[in-house]
A and B are shown apart, each in its own frame.
Chain A
Amino acid sequence: MKRLLIRNGRVIDPSQGLDQGMDVLLENGSVAALGERLDVPSETRVLDAAGLVVAPGFIDLHTHLREPGFEHKETIESGCRAAVAGGFTSLCCMPDTNPVNDEPSVTSFIRKRAEQIGLARVYPVGAVSVGLEGEEMAEIGEMVGAGAVAISDDRRPVTNAQLFRRVLEYARSFDIPVAAHEEDLDLSDGGSMHEGAVSTRIGLRGMPTSAEEVMVARDVLLAELTGGRLHLCHLSTSTALDLVRTAKQRGLAVSCEVAAHQFVLTDEDVAGANYNPNWKTNPPLRSAAEVEAVLQAIYDGTVDAIVSDHEPHHADEKELDFSDAPFGIVGLETAVPLALDRLVHGRVIGLMQLVRLMSTRPAEVFGLPGGSLREGAPADVTVLDLRALRSVDSSTFRSRAHNTPFSGMRLKGWPAATIVGGEIVWQSK
């Protein structure tokens, strides 16, 4: 009988509209009781959460775990360690592994490996197309049977509109969302940062906002045509977010996510980084105006989830020149403090909305268990210390990779403890 009592914390649960001081009792992997000053038997482990926030476990809908195939960048184990240290109890991992997760044996392998490791819950996202080539539909039904919760060709767009349409339709038989990396490759044309005044100034080829916008427009129209569930990955432009806003008003099953770095850094920061590829992301870090629109969309509920878009790369790869280096930065261990610092302390949104964006809403969008501390819910809890003030130190990262632009940044608000299935899998010192 595993019992854990989280005492004296400020419980924030958007699924029940709760924001008050309460005790939370976890028993045998589920939430057993919520209440003020709960009485518990003596063989109960107690976690004192005085002065801390107690929320349903945070769920990252967009991570790259790199195993199988790219273990030099990250493994499922190191990724899970990074996740729980970053306050996440669950993650969804993208299929761009080697072999690609386009069939049930790979899906199964990832799930089982994560279960073996026993830290965060891992929900694989299966491929849309065989080999991510964008030509033939992958065995979606089989992958769902093996535990896939969504499908995506991230980090590639599905260029063939007919294939994407048929996938949106086919996925309806399995009631899963299709997550899309929205980029018109012809328009982004070998660029490495946002196309605008800054790219012109510092002499780098740019990726215009239209590269994202035209694909978002296309896919929202296809979602309407097919009645399928569309989830847009890591959006970064105001127009794309406008399209989502309108789509939702019209009742379409469209959702979207934003990566934490997209509301913190701008293209000016890229300029200030002296061509360091740790500032190279896809979609790229945009202009201040776009970032402003992202913050607005977070505020007004257009955005459904904040994700890490964790893309670990080996140090050697990020030593390359800016144009040659791969896109992407790690995010599992910085997403939560960035969100707490810039959004909550930055007074863009309240704590309830933040928990909704990082737990409740992600669970709803992908149909995952969790996102709630209701009685019977899984015993996954994220404990936060809003007052903690620390600098980001990549040398303490559990991730194998350290490609982050945030080193040395002083942030207020950090995870304090992470509980999965009633076990404390990470706790800050």
Chain B
Amino acid sequence: MVVESATALARKDVVGISQLDAGEIQLILDTAEELLDVAKRPIKKVPTLRGSTVVNLFMEPSTRTRFSFEVAEKRLSADTLNFSASGSSVSKGETLFDTAQNLMAMAPDFIVIRHPNSGAPHRLAQEVPASIINAGDGINEHPTQALLDAFTMRQHFGSLEGLKVVVAGDIRHSRVARSNAFLLAKMGAEVRFVAPASLLPLEVEELGVITFVRLEPALEDADVVMMLRIQLERQKRVNFPSMREYFDFFALTPERLKLAADRAVVLHPGPMNRGVEIDSLVADGSQSLILEQVTNGVAIRMAILYLLAGGPSEAASDS
């Protein structure tokens, strides 16, 4: 499959992988590749977005993603404003719409938003003229994560086409799993979801994935094994019984990793629960690209900011 890169990102916002085509994805990855070098320079900064304002609107707790976005924004010389949910007007009952309207009074060029409700960035994109970047909405999408995962895989293997990628964990509640499935399908990779059926959405094959209810069979000849964080909500031990059981049957241990292809690599969006979904030996082992993911995350976010930048246009935002 030959993917021709787009020459520009002809859209106001990046709210999900669903809205992007393969050419646009390729353009983002290629742009990120060039921006990776900024981190290697003596002065880790370029003046490209000098004078632009970015609001980081994080309505859900996050340290790493917000940190990564901030580094990206600052490396492009943009000004950043951080807005978090607790102690804010939102906790006093202000709607997202009103919050956004208030923010727009300060004329930001970009709003990076993470929100517990699916679809919040999509609605916001329609309401305000700023460029909206989705940093994670409910259980729907996390496009920048999928892009940095794809970038890491491409960096290592040269191409995404034909790669066999295992994604294992609480798929039903994972926006990372979904965005990855959308992206990898568009770029010609094979996606295998692994979870006990109580953690798989109904008819998930709709997303173009193959499903497995045990990890071992899915690992056969896999090139990439992506482990997702597993959480046991105290009130609802309804989907699986215990961390101990999850580790015994669904965690990536060195023995299980041997079942994958010899060239297989390990990814994790972080933060990791060592000893729950992933064994420390694997997380810190030679096949792990987890730290590369973090570095690449900054480059991807810089790429998106760069490509979305520009004055106002008549181009309608995508919903």
Contacts and interface: CB of A to CB of B under 8 A. Distances in A.
B213 A137 contact: no
Nearest to B237: A136
B33 to A, nearest CB: 40
Given A130-B241, A170-B196, 4 more contacts: A136-B238, A137-B240, A139-B244, A163-B238
Nearest to A145: B248
A227 B197 contact: yes
A166 interface: yes
27 contacts: A130-B241, A135-B237, A136-B237, A137-B239, A137-B240, A138-B241, A139-B241, A140-B245, A141-B241, A141-B245, A141-B249, A142-B245, A145-B248, A163-B238, A166-B198, A166-B238, A166-B239, A167-B198, A169-B197, A169-B198, A170-B196, A170-B198, A172-B196, A172-B197, A173-B197, A173-B249, A228-B197
A138 B241 CA distance: 5
Interface residues of B, number: 17
B14 to A, nearest CB: 34
A137 B197 CA distance: 14
A173 B202 CA distance: 16
A159 interface: no
A226 interface: yes
Interface string B232-251: 00000111111011001100
Contacts of A162: 238
A142 B213 contact: no
B66 interface: no
Interface centre among A140, A141, A163 (most CB of B within 10 A): A141
Contact of B238 (A137, A139, A141, A173): A137
A136 to B, nearest CB: 4
B19 to A, nearest CB: 31
Given A140-B245, A142-B244, A226 B197 contact: yes
B53 to A, nearest CB: 46
B237 A170 contact: no
B214 interface: yes
Interface string A124-155: 00000010000111111110010000000000
Contacts of A228: 197
Contacts of A227: 197
B249 A137 contact: no
Residue with the highest number of chain B CB atoms closer than 10 Å, among A130, A135, A137, A228? A137
Contacts of B214: 173
Interface residues on A, range: 20 to 34
A140 B197 contact: no
A83 B239 CA distance: 37
Interface of B: 196-198, 200, 202, 213-214, 237-242, 244-245, 248-249
- Of the listed residues B202, B213, B214, B245, the one surrounded by the most CB atoms of chain A closer than 10 A to its CB is B245
Contacts of A160: 238
Residue among B197, B202, B213 with the most chain A CB within 10 A?
A: B197
Interface in A220-264: 225-228
Given A167-B198, A173-B213, A137 B241 contact: yes
B291 to A, nearest CB: 31
A170 B249 contact: no
A225 B240 CA distance: 18
A247 B229 CA distance: 38
Contacts of A139: 241-242, 244-245
Nearest to A144: B249
B248 A140 contact: no
Contacts of B245: 139-142
Interface in A282-302: none
A222 to B, nearest CB: 12
Q: Which 4 A-B pairs have the closest CB atoms?
A: A169-B197, A136-B237, A169-B198, A166-B198
B248 A170 contact: no
Contacts of B242: 139
Contacts of A166: 198, 238-239
Nearest to A162: B238
A138 B239 CA distance: 10
A162 B236 CA distance: 11
A146 to B, nearest CB: 11
A42 B313 CA distance: 100
Nearest to B212: A173
A170 B197 contact: yes
Contact of A170 (B202, B240, B244): B240
A173 B215 CA distance: 9
